[in-house]
Amino acid sequence: MWRSRMRLRPVYLALLLVSLWIGFGAQFAEAQPAVFPAADRIVAIGDLHGDLHITRHVLRMARITNGLDQWAAGKTVVVQMGDVLDRGDEEQELLEFLARLQKEAEAAGGALHLLLGNHELMNARQDFRYVTEGGFADFQDAVTFDPADPLLAKLPAEQRARAAAFRPGGPFAMQLARQNVAIIVGDNLFVHGGLLPQHLEIGIQEMNRQTRRYLAGEGPMPDFLRGSDSPLWTRAYSDDPGPAECRQLFTVLKALGVRRMVVGHTVQEGGITPKCAGRVWCVDVGLSQHYGGPLSALEIQGNDVKGITKPRDQVARKNAKKPPLKKR
């Protein structure tokens, strides 16, 4: 039996201890809301992929935080669209930073909602294909574990600490279990990949509940999370949707009583992009250093929906890589 041994970062450690104390049983799973009232201002931010530096700058650009990286947006609701993990070296610091901002947002009457992405799920399943060397090294001191554990023993030595951290029921998986697959804020639906008509049979609340139980080590991985049609994996609306995909979208929106869907997951080479007559907004612009996309966020104020952008070259690190925007 392994136990967590967090570095001395008090805010995140406190959140972790609270989550472990709660226990993540059925009562916790049922207690997490998925539908939230409308807000005067909503900001959606795409995939961050382990880049704290760019996260700090995009939040400032969107007037969410001040120059000291403190919440400065009052009652604004921010939705981060998932994929905080992989491809970057600052994941643990980024998770802690976002956890602190969540508390500050709540105290100010606002909210910061963190959604699950496919890369969070991949880490829970010990699929580490997109973890950097720094990503493995960052978790070496994060947990202690039994090296004889069959799940961990089969992995390369440098991967075992990360696997112990993110395996279902592990300390970082317990934090992920506080996040939802999909939420509704006012008349806006937010989900990493997208909701398809078949997902309506399960329902948002039940999808969130089953996923939470899986990450907490309280249940099996739900079937709806598997395959390319998963809410975390589908690109039906974000690649190049045709009439058939748009009809699917309209069916989902009508059934849920919302006006639009917001998705991440697929990097948009042209920046934040509306599709299907503006009923779906694709907000993954490749923010992280791995992709080198522009600083962009989606701002929703009533029926006024727009992307806000700042040139990346004003904040980019020296020698930042910019590989092709094709992403998994």
Residues catalogued as catalytic = 119
CA distance 300 to 226: 31
Q: Is 265 left (phi over 0), alpha (psi -120 to 50) or beta?
A: left
In eight-state DSSP terms, residue 69 is S
Find residue 295's DSSP bridge partners. Answer: 310
> Could you tell me the CA-to-CA distances from 134 to 56, 94, 98, 125, 137 in Å, in that order?
20, 14, 20, 19, 5
- What radius of gyration do the chain's Cα atoms show? 19
Residue located via tokens 């078949």 = 198
Q: Which of 272, 274, 303 is nearest to 41 (CA)?
A: 303
Q: Which two tokens stand for residue 181?
A: 């697959």
HSE of 239, CA atoms in CB hemisphere, 13 A: 10
| Contact in structure between 137 and 193 (CB atoms under 8 Å) | no
In eight-state DSSP terms, residue 113 is E
In eight-state DSSP terms, residue 222 is P
CA distance 94 to 120: 14
CA distance 167 to 293: 31
In eight-state DSSP terms, residue 31 is H
